[in-house]
Structure 1
C-alpha cells in the first residue's frame, strides 16, 4: 500500500490527529531554542531530544508526526558551518527521528 493509500484509508476511518508544536514540546522539556534554526538545531546537537518529543506526542494519541525541519534549510545549516551533504543528512534525520518514535 502506498503512502497516499495509507493516508486515504486512515482519513476514511475518521479524524487523524497531528502531533503538536515541536518547539513547544522541546521548550517544555528545557531545551534552548534561541538559535536561528530553532528546533532544527537539535537535529545536529541532540537528535534524541527530537525523537523523545515525537514519542511524547505519539503516546498522547497523535497519529501523524510533523518533522523538526521548520527552520531547516541548506542555507540555514550552512550558516552554522554544515556543508550541503551534512545538511541533507540532518534533513533526513528529521524524518528518521519521527519514524523511530512511531
Structure 2
C-alpha cells in the first residue's frame, strides 16, 4: 500500500468524507455573485486580506479549470489531493485500456 504524505493524510482526516454537489441553475452573473460571497466568507473566516491565490485543478499544461478549491490556507492541499486522485485514476484507466488490448 502506498503511504500518503503526512500533511495530505492529516488534511483528509480533518475534513472527512466529501460528496459531489452542485448549485441550482442560475445565470453566469448569479454564479459570479455567489462565488464572490464564498470568497468573502473565506476571507473573513481565515482573516486573510489582500491578494491571494485561487487554487484549483487544471488540465496539464493549460489554463483550463476542472475545479477551483479556493483561496483559504488549506486550498493548495485540497487541490493536491484532488489532482493526485485524478492522476491516479488516469493511470488506472490507462493500464486497464492497455490490458484490454
State the TM bucket, normalised to the shorter chain.
Answer: under 0.3
- TM-score of the pair, normalised by structure 2: 0.21
- Structure in which a larger fraction of residues adopt helix: 1
- TM-score of the pair, normalised by structure 1: 0.21
